[in-house]
Amino acid sequence: MRSSPILFVLALAIGCVGSDGEYSFGGGGGPLPGDDGTGGDGAGDDGTGDDGAGDGGADGGDSGTSSGDGGVTGDDQASSDEGVTTDDSTGSTGDGGTTGDAGTTGDPGTTGDDTTTSDTGGAIPGCGASWDFADCNLDPWLKGNIGGALNSWACGDPGGVGPPGPNTGMWATNLYGNYNAQEGSYIQAPMFSLADCVGSVTMTITHWYDFAGGAHCTPFCDGGVVYISNNGGATWTYLTPTPNDYYTVWPIGSMYTPPDGMNGYRDSSGGWTTSTFDLSPYIGADEVSVRFILGGPSLGIYPVAPGWYIDQVTIQ
């Protein structure tokens, strides 16, 4: 519990919340320059069969007793011994000449392998995505602000902060220390598609968090929440984990909305943990993204902590 809470609260609400829980984030500070990017999708080339095509029968000999040689496969077939085959494979047939063998068809073309994602993450065509942040430049996420100018998010390997992650590389609110007081910031996934998903879709995140304020502080309690957009980022909707592992006793108290006033991740996870979110209501959408939003304390006199570390995100 924080001691001697300040009696005044700086509250700056950015954007507007609709009755359906959607949020426009209008005027809250957009993505930071140079952080946006998309990973290329792989594409397998279709194989093409050989061009072998049988021309017509070969000519007969110049007498009724000699048979023409068999037809030869290929373009512009050579003629039999006596006759000359025309381009359309219609030579003159001698008395008693026999028809050449039909040309053989080329081998069927081989279809290229299906497009696959890279080993370190990216959008999966038609349904889902996966990132482990081993390479921060591959299919990079972007970062931005809900309000103000402070943003401590970075991708890489942390130094001396928290327990070692399951994988190499992660997104974190400061890889080497604490996030900022009065910070309202986020990281955002590249657009992915759920257009071809069937049945159900789940987002699983592997994360560790340590927010200042403790479990029972109010009203200045730091924390983080997750939002989703299914219309290319035009509007964003608050996501609740399934099962719900947000802290629900006291809401987050930060300078910007969201996450101010919302249930979210608070206090400390006590180590690396896995949380899941049901994305099934968004099946069929082709421009989907998620945001992980940090809310720091609204007054700079309050302490801060390491924050939120996200090691892997899988949507399938």
| Model pLDDT for residues 221-264, shown as the tens digit of each residue | 899 999 999 999 999 999 999 999 999 988 898 889 999 999 99
What pLDDT is attached to residue 213? 74
| 7 occurs within a structural domain | no
Q: Which of 29-33, 200-204, 302-306 has the lowest mean pLDDT?
A: 29-33
Q: Which of 64-73, 160-169, 203-212 has the lowest mean pLDDT?
A: 64-73
Does the pLDDT value for residue 45 go beyond 70? no
What pLDDT is attached to residue 165? 82
Does the pLDDT value for residue 272 go beyond 80? yes
Q: Which residues contact 297 (CB under 8 A, 6 or more apart)?
A: 181, 182, 212, 213, 220, 221, 222, 253, 254, 255, 303, 304
In b/e form, how buried is each residue of 58-89, taking b as 16+ CB within 10 angstroms? Answer: bbbbeeeebbbbebbbeeebebbebbebeeeb
| 97 occurs within a structural domain | no
CB distance 66 to 10 below 8 Å: no
What pLDDT is attached to residue 43? 37
**Amino acid sitting at position 77:** Q
The average pLDDT across 17-21 equals: 47
How far apart are the C-alpha atoms of 51 and 155, rounded to whole Å?
A: 52
| 289 occurs within a structural domain | yes
CB distance 294 to 199 below 8 Å: no
| 76 occurs within a structural domain | no
Q: Which residues contact 7 (CB under 8 A, 6 or more apart)?
A: none
| 62 occurs within a structural domain | no
How far apart are the C-alpha atoms of 75 and 147, rounded to whole Å?
A: 70
Q: Rounded mean pLDDT of the chain?
A: 72
Structure tokens given for 241: 């984990």
| 260 occurs within a structural domain | yes
Q: Are strands 12-13 and 256-257 parallel, antiparallel or unpaired?
A: parallel
Range of the domain at 139: 17-27+120-316
The average pLDDT across 151-168 equals: 89
Q: In the chain, what percentage of residues exceed pLDDT 70?
A: 60
| 115 occurs within a structural domain | no
| Cis, bond preceding 158 (omega within 30 deg of 0) | no
Q: Residue 282: helix, strand or coil by DSSP?
A: helix
Q: Residue 198: helix, strand or coil by DSSP?
A: coil
Domain of residue 172, CATH code? 2.60.120.200
What pLDDT is attached to residue 22? 67
Q: Residue holding tokens 């309690």? A: 221
Domain count, the chain: 1
Does the pLDDT value for residue 47 go beyond 70? no
| 12 occurs within a structural domain | no
